[in-house]
């Protein structure tokens, strides 16, 4: 498998749209080729992150927890 084919196959690999024998060839190429295995890791990191965004609201809720409410919680006198 050439790098060009391997790179094109990476998205299909994640979507499970390759045949078992194609998957095998992609995996084999990833073992042999650092460039393509890095691209595979990059897409592996990106792909699930997009899906997980719906499940884990971590980053968003941290931003929203800014201490703005302190302004209105001053004790009143007189």
Q: Which is nearer to Zn ion, 6 or 18 (CB)?
A: 6
Angle ∠(29,31,36) on CA atoms, nearest 5: 60
Q: Which is nearer to Zn ion, 6 or 10 (CB)?
A: 6
In three-state secondary structure terms, 43 is helix
Residue 58: CB minimum distance to Zn ion, A: 34
Q: Which is nearer to Zn ion, 3 or 49 (CB)?
A: 3
Task: Output the six-digit token pair for 42.
Answer: 């990059």
Residues near Zn ion (CB under 5 A) are 3, 6, 33, 36
């Amino acid at each position: 498998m050439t790098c060009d084919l391997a790179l094109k196959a990476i998205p299909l690999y994640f979507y499970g749209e390759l045949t078992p024998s194609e998957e095998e060839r992609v995996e084999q190429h990833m073992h042999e080729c650092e460039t393509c295995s890095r691209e595979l890791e990059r897409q592996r990191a990106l792909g699930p992150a997009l899906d997980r965004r719906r499940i884990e609201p971590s980053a968003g809720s941290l931003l929203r927890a800014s201490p703005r409410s302190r302004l209105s919680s001053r004790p009143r006198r007189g």
